[in-house]
């Protein structure tokens, strides 16, 4: 087994008096799809926002390849190789695909100290990535707001790949997609892991999770309550872990 890309130790997050997350220990490995499951408000979104640098943790530490990191912004997380594809897709609907893929990390050449965009080169890189992902978009200059849900998902994944992300976090990537597009995005997820990326997938769809995940972690009420290899568990057990009916979860919640 390879050394984990990222280790989260004892992560906690409090918003005022509200504890959104407590004592989360987690390892994320390269080349592996890790699924985070849990009910609404279980703390999944808070946890990935910490990984993405959008929230600082109240407690605990993150280690990337053994080195402690502290993110004060999404840019810091990106610099450490973490890319997040948020549920609401942080794409700018008014900008084109290439502009979105490079937003915040534009290719530029300096003329008299002024950074000018290298538009042609950005466009070329994006065309290559789209082809690699087998995503067909008729007009790459169209604003992202005019694309379908699956196409936007592909743009977000392009963005992650272009950042040379080593960990890609996908928050409900298939929530708003039609069946055919869902299949494509799931295939993309496996392809990402195949390229050696670590992938963290948040989903409510358990059968989808079993299709792509290597490992499954269950959150409940701000805690991590279970961790299973996908091959060693089944649909029913995962459901009972999420709802709290599972004896392990009951025992854990009694001791707390």
Partner 1 sequence: MNGRELSLLVACLVAIVVFSVASPHYATSGNAVTVLRNSVELLLIGLGMTLLLAMGGIDVSIGIVMGLAAIAIGRILGADGSPFLALVAGPAVGALLGCVTAAVVVLGRVPAIVGTLGLLGVYRTAVFALLGGQWLSGLPSNLTDLLAATVLGIPVPALVIAIAYLVVWLAVRRTPYGLHLLAIGNSEEKARLSGIPVIKVRFMTFVVSGVLTGIAATFYVATYRNVEMSVGSTSALDAIAAVILGGTSILGGRCSLLGTVLGVLLLRILQNGLLLIGVPSLWQPVVTGVLIIGVLGFEAVSNRLPLTRFQRARA
Cα distance between residue 142 and residue 90, in whole Å: 17
Q: Three-class SS of residue 95?
A: coil
> Which one of 30, 32, 71, 99 is in contact with partner 1 (CB under 8 A)?
99
| Beta strands in the chain, from DSSP E residues, in sequence order | 6-15, 18-28, 33-38, 59-64, 67-69, 82-85, 108-111, 114-117, 167-171, 198-202, 215-220, 223-229
Cα distance between residue 220 and residue 245, in whole Å: 11
Check binding of 173 to partner 1 (CB under 8 A). no
Check binding of 141 to partner 1 (CB under 8 A). yes
**Cβ closest to partner 1, residue 15 vs residue 116:** 116
Check binding of 164 to partner 1 (CB under 8 A). no
Closest CA to 168 of 38, 68, 17, 31: 31
Check binding of 154 to partner 1 (CB under 8 A). no
Find the shortest distance in angstroms from Cβ 78 to partner 1: 6
Check binding of 153 to partner 1 (CB under 8 A). no
> Which one of 10, 15, 116, 194 is in contact with partner 1 (CB under 8 A)?
116
Check binding of 54 to partner 1 (CB under 8 A). yes
Place of tokens 């290559």: 128
Find the shortest distance in angstroms from Cβ 109 to partner 1: 11
| Helices assigned H by DSSP within 133-221 | 149-162, 179-194, 206-212
Q: Are strands 59-64 and 114-117 parallel, antiparallel or unpaired?
A: unpaired
Check binding of 106 to partner 1 (CB under 8 A). yes
Find the shortest distance in angstroms from Cβ 216 to partner 1: 26
> Which one of 4, 74, 81, 222 is in contact with partner 1 (CB under 8 A)?
74
Centroid of chain to Cα 109: 31
Find the shortest distance in angstroms from Cβ 143 to partner 1: 5
100, containing H or E segment: helix 97-102
- Segment near partner 1 (CB under 8 A); pick from 32-40, 90-98, 178-186, 194-202: 90-98
**Cβ closest to partner 1, residue 118 vs residue 183:** 118
Find the shortest distance in angstroms from Cβ 91 to partner 1: 7
Residues facing 18 on adjacent strands? 15
Would you tell me which residues interact with partner 1 (CB under 8 A)?
Answer: 52, 54, 73-75, 78, 84, 86, 88, 90-96, 99, 103-106, 108, 114-117, 141-143, 145-146
């Amino acid at each position: 087994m390879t050394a984990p890309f990222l280790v989260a130790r004892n992560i906690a997050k409090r918003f005022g008096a509200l504890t959104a997350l407590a004592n989360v220990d987690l390892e994320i490995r390269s080349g592996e799809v890790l699924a985070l499951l849990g009910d609404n408000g279980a703390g999944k979104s808070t946890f990935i926002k910490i990984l993405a640098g959008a929230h600082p943790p109240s407690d605990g530490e993150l280690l990337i390849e053994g080195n402690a990191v502290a993110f004060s912004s999404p840019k810091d997380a990106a610099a450490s190789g973490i890319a997040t594809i948020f549920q609401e897709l942080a794409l700018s609907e008014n900008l084109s695909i290439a502009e979105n893929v490079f937003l915040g990390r534009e290719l530029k050449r300096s003329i008299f100290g002024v950074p000018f965009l290298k538009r042609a080169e950005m466009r070329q890189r994006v065309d290559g990535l789209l082809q690699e992902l087998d995503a067909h978009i008729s007009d790459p200059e169209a604003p992202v707001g005019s694309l379908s849900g699956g196409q936007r998902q592909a743009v977000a994944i392009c963005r992650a790949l272009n950042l040379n992300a080593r960990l890609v976090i996908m928050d409900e990537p298939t929530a708003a997609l039609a069946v055919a597009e869902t299949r494509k995005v799931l295939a993309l997820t496996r392809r990402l892991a195949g390229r050696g990326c670590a992938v963290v997938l948040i989903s409510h769809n358990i059968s989808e999770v079993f299709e792509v995940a290597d490992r499954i972690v269950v959150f409940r009420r701000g805690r991590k309550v279970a961790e299973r290899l996908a091959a060693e568990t089944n649909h029913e057990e995962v459901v009972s872990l999420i709802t709290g009916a599972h004896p392990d979860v009951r025992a854990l919640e009694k001791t707390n």
